[in-house]
Amino acid sequence: MSRLVVVSNRVAVPDAQSATAGGLAVALRDALQSCGGVWFGWSGKTAAQTAEKPAITEVGPVTYATLDLGRKDYNEYYNGFANRTLWPLFHYRLDLAEFSHENYTGYLRVNTLFADKLRPLIEDDDHIWVHDYHMIPLGRELRALGVEHPMGFYLHTPFPALEVLLALPSHALLVKSLCAYDVIGFQTENDLRAFRDYIHYETKGELIDEQTFHAYGRVVRAEVFPIGIERGQMEEASARAVELGAARRLERTLHNRSLMIGVDRLDYSKGIPERFRSFERFLETYPDHRGQVSMMQIAPLSRSEVPEYKAIRDELEGLAGYINGRYGDFDWMPLHYLTKNFQRETLAGFFRLSRVGVVTPLRDGMNLVAKEYVASQDPSYPGVLVLSRFAGAARELDAALLVNPYDHDGVAAALHQGLVMSLEERRERWESMIAKVRDNSLEHWREAFLSVLRAVPTLAERRAGT
């Protein structure tokens, strides 16, 4: 099997902390281990100047190559265009998107630099798999350096509707850059439809069939590959973790009250302030639950240097204080709000203890927490998932209580419904959801994408065929 070159903003270089690597990191590492190859990207570190050469770590057949970024590059590429322009725009937050020419230039510059540093590590037979919105121009930059290899791109975020994308001054070059790849993977049909709309209405591209089109002189395949979680991992971890220290201690603090749980990176796309307001509405509308149920929101800090992330942190602190001040009692705290990070195994135990999982992003590519919550449940006594219809996961997990996160009354009613739902209905809904979580696993996602990418002939195969 030919080698794989994986490119992503963050690289999971195995080290002392590798035991805590997330599912995606493990899945990509496994793929690289089996066929050998390179994982290339940012080191996660900044320096006065961007490094001249990538730092190399060899582990078995895999080369991990990472670059430290200088402050200017980091600010313009990561904090700037990736996370203040593309991220809000792709999550339908035009109100938060900043269009700075300087940041855009920095984003292009860093992608050009990544392509330059990656080029010498690529061998003739390789397949290249690039991940996420940070790296959209990379494929085009590699093509400019003569890289004719099979190249795939997977977008982990939503792809915005045509009218939203058109607000981006550089939309044309961005989509043209996407078309430099041979295969483009999206999370949901919605995303693929939005992309097809753009090709259809904005370019002279021609749709050959549902998944293939001709644009900018290239034939490109675009498909849906919904991402999942590792097969069996959370199911086993939660059964174990619920017997362990943290889950036991949490259970003791509940004093037989029910628990509702939300776990999200602290990001405005996750709808946490709206969730808090819905929880307040729930306490207001269903007073019988007061003193009987608590909500725990775990929201580890993320992208803390980006001003919009600082603002939402302040907002949440205010809201949590307000709700607890207004409704709490000397022996009951309605809302537990923590920005601390927990190991996934610990979270699995927390999920299993929680009667309701609350996953209400305003917009999300997939949302793996929804799948992790389902996988963590006790099959004989499962909890209920309250899920935003705007999370990619809602496509598969349609047996959840689907809600509109902007509708506080609707979410409050769903929280109530989750708490009073019969065990029979809970089991029925859970069985439908767990079957999909198991079928569309992370391994399945990886293999599905790679089988399409590997069907594109390598450079050596093309040369041999001519």
Residue 137 CA to residue 147 CA, distance in Å, equals: 14
Neighbours of 440 (CB within 10 A): 21
Give the binding-site size for ligand F6P (rule: CB under 6 A).
7
Neighbours of 83 (CB within 10 A): 22
Residue 92 CA to residue 268 CA, distance in Å, equals: 11
166-167-170-173 Cα dihedral, nearest 10 degrees: -20
Choose between 104 and 309: whose C-beta lies nearer to ligand F6P: 309
Annotated active-site positions, please? Answer: 156, 364
Helix axes 344-353, 233-241, angle to 10 degrees: 70
Q: x/- site string to ligand F6P, residues 335 to 374, per CB under 6 A?
A: ----------------------------------------
Least Å distance, CB 118 to ligand F6P, is: 18
- Quick one: which of 431, 436, 354 has its CA closest to 394? 436
Residue 332 has what DSSP assignment?
B
Least Å distance, CB 44 to ligand F6P, is: 8
Q: What does each C-alpha distance from 313 to 335, 337, 362 come to in angstroms?
A: 16, 11, 17
Choose between 36 and 44: whose C-beta lies nearer to ligand F6P: 44
Q: Does 156 bind ligand F6P (CB under 6 A)?
A: yes
Q: x/- site string to ligand F6P, residues 101 to 140, per CB under 6 A?
A: -------------------------------x--------
Choose between 334 and 365: whose C-beta lies nearer to ligand F6P: 365
43, 63, 66, 157: which one contacts ligand F6P (CB under 6 A)? 157
Residue 432 CA to residue 230 CA, distance in Å, equals: 18
Q: x/- site string to ligand F6P, residues 256 to 295, per CB under 6 A?
A: ----------------------------------------
Least Å distance, CB 11 to ligand F6P, is: 11
Least Å distance, CB 415 to ligand F6P, is: 26
Q: x/- site string to ligand F6P, residues 296 to 335, per CB under 6 A?
A: ------xx--------------------------------
Q: What does each C-alpha distance from 298 to 31, 266, 341, 457 come to in angstroms?
A: 31, 9, 8, 45
Residue 77 has what DSSP assignment?
I
Q: Does 235 bind ligand F6P (CB under 6 A)?
A: no
State the Cα angle at 221 between 171 and 89, rounded to 5°.
25
Which residues from 2-41 bind ligand F6P, rule CB under 6 A?
A: 9-10
State the Cα angle at 127 between 121 and 133, rounded to 5°.
85
Nearest residue to ligand F6P, by Cβ distance, number only? 156
Least Å distance, CB 448 to ligand F6P, is: 19
Residues that bind ligand F6P (CB under 6 A): 9-10, 132, 156-157, 302-303
